[in-house]
Amino acid sequence: MHLRDFNDSDADYRALVQMENQTWPDTPTTVEAQREMAAARPDIRWDQRVCEIDGSVAGFGSCGEAFWLGEPGTFHVYVVVSPAHRRQGIGSRIFRDLLNQAPAADIRTLNSGCREDQIGGMRFLQSLGFVAIDRDADSELDLARFEVLRMTERSPDPSPVQFRPLASLTENCPDWLERFRDLDYRIQAEAVAPEPLNRPSAEQFAEEHLNTRDFDPNLCWIALDGSDWIGMTELRPTADDDTAVQAFRTGVDRVWRRCGVATALKLHAFGSAKAKGYAKVVAYGDPDSAVGHIHRKLGFQFQPAWIGMRKPLPSPGR
Ligand SMILES: CC(C)(COP(=O)(O)OP(=O)(O)OC[C@H]1O[C@@H](n2cnc3c(N)ncnc32)[C@H](O)[C@@H]1OP(=O)(O)O)[C@@H](O)C(=O)NCCC(=O)NCCS
């Protein structure tokens, strides 16, 4: 067994792509896509190692600062071993080698992850001391088969709460922008708590939220208790599929939770999307969250979840 640096050759990229596609056949990649990902990485140290057995590639590993997290000292590790060579200690060798190469003093936490149906990958990370910290899954609702009326009859009745599309409130409610900004801020502030969230100015909010190309006030529904705005849900078109909208943001004021408000908001929004001709709603998030449970009840089909994993290191990093 021989470990060496990944070189930028087509041969190394082809071997990596072959192993990735054997491992993740439902999300195939290409040499070009891998090269693009590498080119898009900021100019930071990014170690990549190759394991060869008898001159052919048996595994890869990479380790570098998880720049996308904005947490200095958190490094991301990924290891993949060719299916024919698994359970022979190769993955562990690559992992140890990556840590030996890495700038130990800079590393405080190792970050990695795996899809829950990759049993080997999950067990491997657990055996190295990683623990799960979050769980997110893609899910999809087929709008053609989704019966809004039948689902409404089967859902709790949240009266006296009323539901309106934002498009109609922009015509009938003079201070709609202020109310919408306020509701959106309350929902987001709770989502990021305990981090403080700056309240955007009206101009900022309009610029960042309303004036974007994918904002559609007919796909944004508001829940009202009398004249109080107490909840919202928003769908947005997706960048890569004209037939799909994505569940963008949903929130209900704390005192109104568990009364069926979010379910009713979603039923209205999905009805609008269906009427506009969209074929599906896609979502990404924790299947065990409140919204995940609502989606499951409404008939979303979930893919296996991605499990984010962490391993704290005793300082200085090993
Ligand atoms: C994860 C992966 C790299 C492990 O490579 P490997 O060379 O088979 O790993 P090792 O032989 O070093 O295994 C080390 C330990 O991990 C655990 N493990 C690995 N695969 C396992 C499996 N299929 N079932 C149960 N435990 C497993 C065991 O505890 C094992 O020790 P043991 O064999 O003494 O019981 C390989 O399965 C793979 O390429 N999976 C797809 C990519 C992936 O999921 N990567 C994880 C994210 S970094």
Report the mean per-residue pLDDT for the chain.
94
246 and 153 assigned to the same domain: yes
Identify whether 95 is part of a domain: yes
Q: Report the distance separating Cα 212 and Cα 235, nearest Å.
A: 13
- Whose alpha carbon is nearest atom 29 of ligand 1? 127
Identify whether 318 is part of a domain: no
Ligand 1 contact, 91 CB (< 6 A): yes
Would you tell me the crossing angle of helices 290-298 and 261-275 to the nearest 10 degrees?
A: 50
Average pLDDT value for residue range 42-55: 95
123 and 164 assigned to the same domain: no
pLDDT at 276 over 70: yes
pLDDT at 316 over 70: no
pLDDT at position 105:
82
Q: How confident is the model at residue 315 (pLDDT cuts 50, 70, 90)?
A: low
189 and 123 assigned to the same domain: no
Identify whether 142 is part of a domain: no
Q: Report the distance separating Cα 46 and Cα 107, nearest Å.
A: 13
Q: What is the DSSP string of 159-180?
A: TT-EEEEHHHHHHH-TTHHHHH
CA of 62 to the centre of ligand 1 (A): 16
116 and 153 assigned to the same domain: no
pLDDT at 134 over 90: yes
Identify whether 117 is part of a domain: yes
- Whose alpha carbon is nearest atom 26 of ligand 1? 123
Write phi, then psi, for 200 (nearest 5 degrees). -70, 150
CA of 81 to the centre of ligand 1 (A): 8
pLDDT at position 99:
95
Identify whether 201 is part of a domain: yes
pLDDT at position 157:
87
179 and 209 assigned to the same domain: yes
Q: What is the CATH number of the domain that holds 167?
A: 3.40.630.30
Q: Report the distance separating Cα 244 and Cα 238, nearest Å.
A: 6
pLDDT at 271 over 90: yes
Ligand 1 contact, 121 CB (< 6 A): yes
Identify whether 192 is part of a domain: yes
Tokens 């955007």, located at residue = 200
- CB count within 10 Å of CB 25 equals 8
Q: Is the peptide bond before 194 cis (omega within 30 degrees of 0)?
A: yes
56 and 156 assigned to the same domain: no
Atom of ligand 1 nearest to the CA of 118: 44
Q: What is the pLDDT of residues 185-226, one digit of tens each?
A: 999 988 877 788 888 999 999 998 888 888 999 999 999 999
103 and 211 assigned to the same domain: no
- Whose alpha carbon is nearest atom 43 of ligand 1? 121
Write phi, then psi, for 130 (nearest 5 degrees). -75, 145
153 and 119 assigned to the same domain: no
69 and 107 assigned to the same domain: yes
Q: Is the peptide bond before 174 cis (omega within 30 degrees of 0)?
A: no
Q: How confident is the model at residue 131 (pLDDT cuts 50, 70, 90)?
A: very high
Q: What is the pLDDT of residues 222-244, one digit of tens each?
A: 999 999 999 999 999 998 899 99
Identify whether 317 is part of a domain: no
262 and 186 assigned to the same domain: yes
pLDDT at position 148:
87
% of the chain surpassing 70 pLDDT = 99
User: 181: domain range?
Assistant: 147-298
pLDDT at 318 over 50: no
- Our count of domains for the chain comes to 2
Q: What is the pLDDT of residues 73-115, one digit of tens each?
A: 999 999 999 999 999 999 999 999 999 998 888 899 999 999 9
Identify whether 139 is part of a domain: no
17 and 122 assigned to the same domain: yes
Ligand 1 contact, 123 CB (< 6 A): yes
Which amino acid is it at 120? G
169 and 238 assigned to the same domain: yes
Sign of CA dihedral 142, 295, 251, 152: positive
pLDDT at 317 over 50: no
Give pTM, 2 decimals. Answer: 0.84
Q: How confident is the model at residue 58 (pLDDT cuts 50, 70, 90)?
A: very high
